[in-house]
């Protein structure tokens, strides 16, 4: 179902970049987040800890105590931001219009060909008009109410739900100007970073080796906390970790181009010369990182010259069968007159999701094409960037890479060959060296984020590069 943006005349107030949530579409945590997203706007208070310098999180608030600030004000965390009310109202208005279109299409499809159908169009036009009228009224009322409700930091549950929502329909949210659409930011400990020399110097007083962590579909920067990869590389190898947050529902090439621009701004604003840059991408994040490398080279950016390594964790270099299966179902539904209107429901999935069918990286892979049509893989081949050390980690639910079934199942979402870049077409095959490839057996797609052996392997790869550089 394609949602149609209603006409909203009252502009939304500008909101801070942190209208974001975190999580994976297929994760069990999304259900919990969905249950809590409509919870009390004010949140619930934290327990107080008497020890100075500690922080005690509870549902809704986090209070920090410091001996020099005994009267520190609690930081309020809310499951629902005040501006979300207008955003959700707009989304509901658009959804109602989309459902009306769907029902009308079904009505027309089942009506006898020899019977006049003059009443139905008038009925549906009336419903659409009333929807727009009510939507505009609600939007105007909430415009007056929102400033009175104040502002609060987003709770982790809210960020989880928003990340999932953006993964599923983030392109629509962005195109319709809905404030629920996430914007790309670098984050530290969940807080957005301003790309200014002063802000970066305050957040990172030392370090000239950067590692940027790029999350996957329906996730956000907090996904990396589960395995502590950034902290491991910081403590053992001296890297400064930065986590990227972005709208995973947009086209991969669009996010890749934005990431290239953000990396150029980051390198330019860093308080000291950057000597080494590493990009680590999980799932879709690996494809965004590859796309960014291409976009940066085309734009003549400075940062690709500092890119030392690309690390891919379960990246679907050649697509994911789940999206290909969904596309087949959509095509079959569209071929049957009585159920064809319901094919619109499948066409509500985001551009980011449809890019995962084959692993689109460039604008030309999707521009001017029907992304819901069933067509063969027509991507422009893109090799791994020259002069950059590239590593691929894959997971398998099974215990043998020799089993065809286990290879096809892979980690449950990404087949083994796709994660390792293998393709029958030599132009599309990504030749990772054997020493630069690793398989985690008995692991699923999310285990690549949280299992200690994955972090240990990434650390070993990057440590070897540092040893090599020290010998030169």
pLDDT tens digit sequence for 28-67: 333 333 333 333 333 333 333 333 333 333 333 333 333 3
Is residue 401 in a domain?
yes
Residue 396 included in any domain: yes
Backbone dihedral region of 211: left (phi > 0), alpha (psi from -120 to 50 degrees) or beta? beta
Give domain status of residue 201, yes or no. Answer: yes
Q: Is residue 460 over pLDDT 50?
A: yes
Task: Evaluate if residue 111 carries a pLDDT over 60.
Answer: no
* Cα gap 411→416, rounded to integer Å: 7
Q: Answer whether residue 23 shows pLDDT above 80.
A: no
The verdict on residue 233 lying in a domain is yes
Residues 6 or more apart whose CB falls under 8 angstroms from that of 413 comprise 26, 283, 314, 316, 320, 322, 445
| Assigned domain for 261 exists | yes
Q: Is residue 300 part of a domain?
A: yes
Over residues 357-399, the pLDDT tens digits come to 999 999 999 998 877 777 788 899 999 999 999 999 999 999 9
Q: What is the pTM of this model?
A: 0.70
C-alpha distances in Å from residue 447, one per residue of 58, 192, 413, 438: 26, 26, 12, 14
Predicted pLDDT at 308:
97
Range of 280's domain? 185-319+380-471
Structure tokens at 422: 């293998």
If one counts the domains in the chain, the total is 1
Residue 100 falls within a domain, yes or no? Answer: no
Q: Please, which pLDDT band fits residue 127 given cuts at 50, 70 and 90?
A: low
Structure confidence at residue 324 (pLDDT): 55
Residue 19 CB partners (closer than 8 Å, separation 6+):
81, 83, 84, 154, 162, 179, 180, 182
Residue 341 located in a structural domain: no
CA pair distance 367, 380, nearest whole angstrom? 12
Section 208-225 average pLDDT: 95
Q: What band does 322 get if pLDDT is binned at 50, 70 and 90?
A: confident
CATH, residue 387: 3.40.50.1820
Angle (CA) 420-230-390 rounded to 5° is: 30
């Amino acid at each position: 179902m394609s949602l149609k943006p209603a006409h909203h005349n009252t502009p939304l107030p500008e909101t801070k970049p942190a209208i974001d949530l975190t999580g994976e579409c297929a994760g069990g945590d999304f259900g919990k987040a969905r249950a809590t997203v409509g919870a009390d706007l004010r949140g619930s208070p934290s327990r107080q800890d008497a020890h100075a310098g500690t922080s005690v999180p509870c549902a809704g608030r986090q209070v920090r105590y410091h001996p020099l600030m005994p009267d520190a004000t609690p930081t309020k965390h809310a499951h629902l931001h005040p501006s979300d009310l207008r955003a959700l109202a707009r989304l509901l208005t658009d959804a109602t219009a989309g459902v009306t279109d769907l029902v009308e299409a079904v009505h027309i499809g089942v009506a006898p060909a020899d019977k006049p159908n003059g009443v139905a169009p008038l009925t549906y036009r009336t419903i659409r008009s009333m929807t727009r009228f009510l939507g505009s009224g609600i939007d105007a009322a909430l415009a007056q109410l929102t400033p009175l409700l104040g502002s609060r930091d987003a709770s982790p549950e809210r960020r989880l739900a928003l990340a999932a929502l953006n993964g599923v329909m983030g392109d629509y949210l962005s195109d319709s100007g809905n404030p629920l659409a996430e914007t790309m930011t670098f984050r530290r400990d969940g807080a957005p970073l301003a790309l200014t020399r002063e802000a970066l110097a305050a957040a990172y007083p030392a370090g000239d080796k950067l590692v940027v962590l790029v999350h996957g579909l329906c996730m956000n920067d907090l996904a990396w906390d589960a395995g502590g990869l950034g902290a491991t590389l910081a403590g053992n190898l001296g890297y400064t970790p930065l986590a990227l947050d972005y709208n995973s529902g947009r086209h991969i090439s669009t996010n890749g181009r934005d990431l290239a621009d953000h990396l150029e701004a980051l390198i330019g604003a860093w308080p000291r010369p950057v000597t080494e840059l590493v990009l680590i991408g999980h799932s879709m994040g690996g494809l965004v990182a590859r796309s960014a490398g291409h976009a940066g080279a085309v734009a003549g950016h400075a940062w690709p010259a500092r890119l030392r390594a690309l690390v891919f964790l379960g990246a679907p270099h050649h697509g994911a069968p789940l999206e290909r299966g969904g596309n087949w179902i959509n095509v079959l539904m569209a071929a049957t007159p009585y159920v064809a209107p319901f094919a619109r429901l499948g066409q509500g999935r985001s551009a980011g999701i449809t890019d995962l069918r084959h692993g689109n990286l460039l604008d030309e892979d999707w521009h001017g094409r029907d992304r819901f049509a069933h067509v063969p893989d027509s991507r422009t081949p893109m090799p791994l960037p020259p002069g950059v050390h590239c590593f691929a980690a894959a997971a398998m639910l099974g215990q043998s890479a020799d089993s065809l079934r286990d290879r096809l199942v892979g980690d449950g979402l990404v087949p083994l060959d796709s994660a390792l870049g293998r393709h029958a077409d030599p132009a599309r095959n990504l030749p990772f060296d054997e020493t630069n490839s690793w398989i985690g057996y008995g692991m699923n797609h999310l285990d690549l984020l949280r299992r200690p052996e994955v972090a240990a392997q990434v650390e070993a790869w990057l440590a070897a590069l540092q040893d090599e550089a020290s010998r030169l």
